DNA sequence: TGGCACAAAGTTAACGGTAACGCAACGATC
DNA sequence: GATCGTTGCGTTACCGTTAACTTTGTGCCA
């Protein structure tokens, strides 16, 4: 039950409607696409027939015949732990208002998958593609360029842009993280968390921090990273390792807030005072970061703004606007986990 | 630069390849779909030409002509705060292995959007549709049934199923939440958080809890809910209200962990001892729930399992398997925020 | 050496729409 | 009353690909 036999499965087409109403196929098509060119009364009968037969237009046919598609391909590197979920969320709802449908792909930081997924998405002849990052395998760049459609790169802006980008300057984020810790009197920094080979954004942040540390005449940042997914358990495990191997460290920059949650847990279990003995700083401003104790200092990317600006950029480019790269602001949210001085209140 | 003029934009087709290689269009098509029917050497030349021209097949045409589509429509009610992001994540990667492409829609708990989005997704003639919930507007049910494709309802199982469902029994979750609190000695329960008119799952949990409370001879559950999105700030606000209006309450069931985070914050600010004076219980097992203090008792849905089983159900149904409803287990994770007795350790 | 099976390619006709064009009926215009 | 623009609809020709046939070429056997 529920599924009709394949033989009898008879999805209505424009022709079914046309036959039922007694007009030509094209008139029915017009009733949909240019309603004011069809008599009111006839239009009413056509709409009634469509409603009655539960007609759903076939966009495969429409897209093939017509000139424009209304798919927007969205390629993210992860969805888990909500890293890009809220960007997709706002982007999708903004596009929906223009009747654009999101087709989603998740590369999970795998460049081979990225090539495959981009190819797959392009095969649907989307009106535009939005993709996380500005660093892609050469084949991806080639395919996207050859497609001739607007390409919006999100989240990052540093580097070679294909067409249009909406993102943050990650090097400056890393610099701000380090600078803040140094200003609070921390001197031996560590970077902890997942640092995937293909997560160029994290690498840029780390390099930005490194530069600030060097400029301050402090010793190099200790790195304890893996290719795995970030999680509290990972943060806890790496932090324990760190305490053992590098007892001199007095501040930890985590690649994401969820990793920082684990770091806090590990430090508390080891009896370290935060922020007195050791500071912890995250990235991403997870919804729980203001609720853990001590509350977590972190960087808040304006995800909604990125989603919204991406939608706007897509629409602008579809309507022949010029390519444009927009740098989106972020905010260092200073909370308890790094605040040694009493200078600020929040 | 980047985008070719519309006039010159000349995306390669099978015909371009055919002409370049000097064979018929169909031979090129065969080289893709049934490679072993084409001479090895010719196949090599065809592949080389495709590579060179950056050929990307047009699935609009393929889908229109061929018999099967490889889109799977996925309809969720939210993505924000990662509620369903990890389901989509696992679902997508499992489908990818079968070369099925996810088309995503997010209704944001708006039934009108749901109708519109389902219609939009069906217009791409997907091979199957996976959708959150078993309670849909009548028109959605009608459209999905009329489509004649496999429909997998996720997350919930209680009620009328269209075709196949993979989800949890939310009434029993609510009952377990209340039963646990009662066993810990709490007697005046409250339900706090966003309770959207169209979030039937939350309503089922609340009813399940209500039934358990009544069975224990305790007074009715106090409700303090809104239609807004759940967030820590919302939880904090509602909890302050609750403390004022219903000082007798000694246990709070939050509709989501992020709301519970805010509740914890509010209670700590008011100087209440948790779990001594008042208990807090969440839903969803947010990644931070084990990291807040006190750590949060919550219900852990097996999201990955739901995603994986949904993918399996889709494949089974596409290959003419029978419709089947699967009830997925969940787990009550007892942590500090409700544990008054010393009986358990974790 | 003729006949036949099979492999490898070409031909043709859909698939369900949309766009361009054609044409009748009608009122407005001079 | 002939001319013309408009309105409202029908005809026809694609869009790029696949499936079902048809044709051609090749090796094998009697």
Whether the Cβ atoms of residue A271 and residue A242 lie closer than 8 Å to each other:
no
Alpha carbon distance B344, B346 (integer Å): 7
Taking C1' of C9 and every protein CA, the nearest residue is B27
Alpha carbon B329 to its chain centroid, in Å, reads: 16
Whether the Cβ atoms of residue A1 and residue B148 lie closer than 8 Å to each other:
no
At A220-249, the pLDDT tens digits run: 999 999 999 899 999 999 999 999 999 999
At A288-301, the pLDDT tens digits run: 999 998 999 999 99
What is the percentage of chain B residues whose pLDDT exceeds 70? 96
Classified as helix, coil or strand, A281 is strand
pLDDT tops 50 at residue A148: yes
pLDDT tops 80 at residue A145: yes
Largest CA distance in chain A: 85
- pLDDT of res. B124: 93
Which CATH code is given to the segment(s) A71-168+303-329?
Answer: 3.40.50.2300
Torsion region of B32: left, alpha or beta (phi above 0 gives left; psi -120 to 50 gives alpha): alpha
Flag if A258 and B120 touch (Cβ within 8 Å). no
Mean pLDDT within B256-277:
96
Give how far B204 is from chain A: nearest CA, Å.
Answer: 25
Residue B194: other Cβ atoms inside 10 A: 22
Which is higher by pLDDT, B329 or B33?
Answer: B329
Nucleotides of C under 7 A from a protein CB: 7-20
The verdict on A16 touching B (C-beta cutoff 8 Å) is: no
User: What are the residues whose beta carbons fall under 8 Å from the beta carbon of A52, sequence distance 6 or more?
Assistant: none
The verdict on B269 touching A (C-beta cutoff 8 Å) is: no
Classified as helix, coil or strand, B78 is coil
The verdict on A332 touching B (C-beta cutoff 8 Å) is: no
The verdict on A57 touching B (C-beta cutoff 8 Å) is: yes
User: What are the residues whose beta carbons fall under 8 Å from the beta carbon of A218, sequence distance 6 or more?
Assistant: A182, A187, A188, A189
Cis peptide before B275 (omega within 30 of 0): yes
CATH architecture assigned to A14-57: Orthogonal Bundle (1.10)
- A25/D2 CA-to-C1' distance in Å: 35
Classified as helix, coil or strand, B272 is coil
Q: Could you give the angle at which helices A25-33 and A40-53 cross, rounded to 10 degrees?
A: 100
Whether the Cβ atoms of residue B195 and residue B255 lie closer than 8 Å to each other:
yes
Q: Could you give the angle at which helices A25-33 and A14-21 cross, rounded to 10 degrees?
A: 110
Q: Which of residues 31-70 of A touch strand D (CB under 7 A)?
A: 36-39, 42, 61, 64-65
**Closest CB to A80 among B59, B86, B291:** B86
Please name the nucleotide lying closest to A37, CA to C1'. Answer: D8
Domains A71-168+303-329 and A170-301 share a fold: yes
Q: Say whether the CB atom of B29 is under 7 angstroms from strand D.
A: yes
Grade residue B341 by pLDDT with cuts at 50, 70 and 90.
confident
Torsion region of A53: left, alpha or beta (phi above 0 gives left; psi -120 to 50 gives alpha): alpha
Superfamily name with CATH number, domain A170-301: Response regulator (3.40.50.2300)
Whether the Cβ atoms of residue B70 and residue B286 lie closer than 8 Å to each other:
no
Residue B61: other Cβ atoms inside 10 A: 17
At A159-174, the pLDDT tens digits run: 899 999 999 999 999 9
Q: Say whether the CB atom of A39 is under 7 angstroms from strand C.
A: no
Whether the Cβ atoms of residue B209 and residue B181 lie closer than 8 Å to each other:
no
Flag if A123 and B58 touch (Cβ within 8 Å). yes
Give how far B203 is from chain A: nearest CA, Å.
Answer: 24
Query: For an interface test with B, which of A291, A317, A346 has the most B Cβ atoms less than 10 Å from its Cβ?
Result: A291
User: What are the residues whose beta carbons fall under 8 Å from the beta carbon of B342, sequence distance 6 or more?
Assistant: none
Domain locations in chain A as residue ranges: 14-57, 71-168+303-329, 170-301
Alpha carbon distance B227, A42 (integer Å): 42
- CATH 1.10.10.60 holds for B170-301+333-338: no
What is the percentage of chain B residues whose pLDDT exceeds 90? 86
Please name the nucleotide lying closest to B13, CA to C1'. Answer: D16
- pLDDT of res. B342: 62
Q: At CA B41, angle to CA B39 and CA B42, rounded to 5?
A: 65
Which CATH code is given to the segment(s) B71-167+303-329?
Answer: 3.40.50.2300
Chain B residues with CB-CB distance to A293 below 8 A: 292-293
Flag if B9 and A288 touch (Cβ within 8 Å). no
- pLDDT of res. B159: 87
Per DSSP, the residues of A170-223 read: HHHHHHHHHHHHHHTT--SEEEEEE--TT-HHHHHHHHHHHHHHHHTTPPPPEE
Grade residue A3 by pLDDT with cuts at 50, 70 and 90.
very low
């Amino acid at each position: 039950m529920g599924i009709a036999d394949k033989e009898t499965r008879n999805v209505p087409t424009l022709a079914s409607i046309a036959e039922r109403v007694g007009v030509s196929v094209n008139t029915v098509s017009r009733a949909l696409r240019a309603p004011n060119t069809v008599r009111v009364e006839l239009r009413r009968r056509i709409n009634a027939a469509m409603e009655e037969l539960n007609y759903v237009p076939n966009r495969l046919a429409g897209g093939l015949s017509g000139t424009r598609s209304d798919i927007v391909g969205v390629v993210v590197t992860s969805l888990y732990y909500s890293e890009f979920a809220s960007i997709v969320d706002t982007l999708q709802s903004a596009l929906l208002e223009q009747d654009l449908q999101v087709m989603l792909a998740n590369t999970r930081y795998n460049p081979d998958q990225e090539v495959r997924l981009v190819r797959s998405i392009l095969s649907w002849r989307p009106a535009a593609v939005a993709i996380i990052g500005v660093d892609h395998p050469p084949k991806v760049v080639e395919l996207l360029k050859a497609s001739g459609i607007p390409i919006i790169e999100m989240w990052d802006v540093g580097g070679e842009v294909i067409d249009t980008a909406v993102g943050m300057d990650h090097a400056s984020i890393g610099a701000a993280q380090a600078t803040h810790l140094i200003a609070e009197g921390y001197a031996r920094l560590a970077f902890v968390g997942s640092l995937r080979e293909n997560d160029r954004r994290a690498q840029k942040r780390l390099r930005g921090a490194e530069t600030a540390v060097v400029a301050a005449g402090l010793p190099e940042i200790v790195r304890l990273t893996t290719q795995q997914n970030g999680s509290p358990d990972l943060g806890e495990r790496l932090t324990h390792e760190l305490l053992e191997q590098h007892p001199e460290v007095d501040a930890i920059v985590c690649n994401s807030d969820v990793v920082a949650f684990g770091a806090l847990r590990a430090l508390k279990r080891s009896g370290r005072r935060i922020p007195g003995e050791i500071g912890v700083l995250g990235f991403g401003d997870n919804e729980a970061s203001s609720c853990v104790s001590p509350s977590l200092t972190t960087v808040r990317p304006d995800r909604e703004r990125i989603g919204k600006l991406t939608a706007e950029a897509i629409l602008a480019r579809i309507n022949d606007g010029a390519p444009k790269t927009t740098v989106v602001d972020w905010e260092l949210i200073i909370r308890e986990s790094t605040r040694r001085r009493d200078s600020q209140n929040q």
